[in-house]
């Protein structure tokens, strides 16, 4: 096990965020064969998981990296209210084929507001609020996530320059602030659904996510209060 040293600043002058790591083990999956390593944020106690291809990136390119925020409803139960589970599957397929790492960031449910508050936000969305308005109605941040631990994990894995699998420019900006250079944004847009189109439109319009939203393939959104949104990227 290794732990970040907090006594000395990193090469970019920033104080390292303390994390510790466990052993690297094999992880065969439906998406391919990976190696995995658990990491602990020594400030919050959150336990994260790095899932990496054992193969070097193709053509000497920077490795693909996905920062995937935990989403129980989408990742485990396959919720159609979001695109999280489908983005997770797509990222693993891309990393298996091209090389890189997926960081599964726990404690970031509902863009950092937690599972119980996410369900409360769902109730407000069913009353007509969008994903941003629902958080505001609860007195919560629109996005409460922190990427300091993720950036430190990437640094300790030697991933200082990456191609980021994301539709969210804010992740690129936050990683840059933490000292990780994003040399390319690689889109992870998956086909939208009738049930999540309003949520995705809100992310595009109000959170600057890089989405095209082909409504011809997604189907037009339902009217009234039965279209859902919330989740994350």
Q: What is the pLDDT of residues 154-194, one digit of tens each?
A: 999 999 999 999 888 888 888 888 889 999 989 887 676 67
Q: What tokens appear for 24 in the block?
A: 């690297």
- pLDDT (tens digit, 9 = 90+) per residue, 8-26? 445 455 788 999 999 999 9
Provide the pLDDT for residue 8: 43
Catalytic residue IDs: 143, 145
Average pLDDT of span 118-138: 90
Q: How many CB atoms lie within 10 A of CB 219?
A: 12
* Contacts of 33-36 spanning 24+ positions with Cβ under 8 A: 33/96, 34/92, 34/95, 34/96
Element (H or E) spanning 102, and its range? Answer: strand 100-105
The model's pTM: 0.81
pLDDT over threshold 50, residue 226 = no
> What is the average per-residue pLDDT within 104-115?
93
């Amino acid at each position: 096990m290794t732990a970040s040293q907090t006594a000395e600043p990193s090469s970019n002058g920033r104080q390292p965020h303390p994390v510790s790591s466990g052993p690297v083990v094999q992880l065969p999956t439906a998406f391919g064969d990976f190696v995995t390593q658990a990491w602990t944020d020594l400030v919050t106690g959150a336990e994260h998981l790095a899932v990496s291809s054992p193969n070097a990136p193709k053509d000497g390119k920077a490795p693909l990296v996905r920062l995937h925020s935990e989403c129980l409803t989408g990742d485990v139960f396959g919720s159609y209210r979001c695109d999280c589970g489908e983005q997770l599957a797509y990222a693993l397929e891309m990393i298996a084929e091209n090389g890189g790492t997926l960081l599964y960031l726990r404690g970031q449910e509902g863009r950092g507001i937690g599972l119980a508050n996410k369900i409360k936000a769902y109730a407000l969305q069913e009353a007509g609020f969008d994903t941003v308005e629902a958080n505001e109605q609860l007195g919560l941040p629109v996005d409460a996530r922190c990427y300091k631990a993720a950036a430190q994990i990437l640094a300790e894995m030697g991933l200082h320059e990456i191609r980021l699998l994301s539709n969210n420019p804010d992740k690129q900006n936050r990683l840059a602030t933490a000292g990780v250079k994003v040399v390319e944004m690689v889109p992870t847009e998956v086909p939208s659904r009738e049930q999540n189109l309003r949520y995705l439109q809100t992310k595009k319009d109000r959170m600057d996510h890089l989405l095209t939203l082909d409504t011809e393939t997604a189907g037009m959104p339902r009217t009234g209060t039965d279209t859902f949104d919330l989740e994350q990227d």
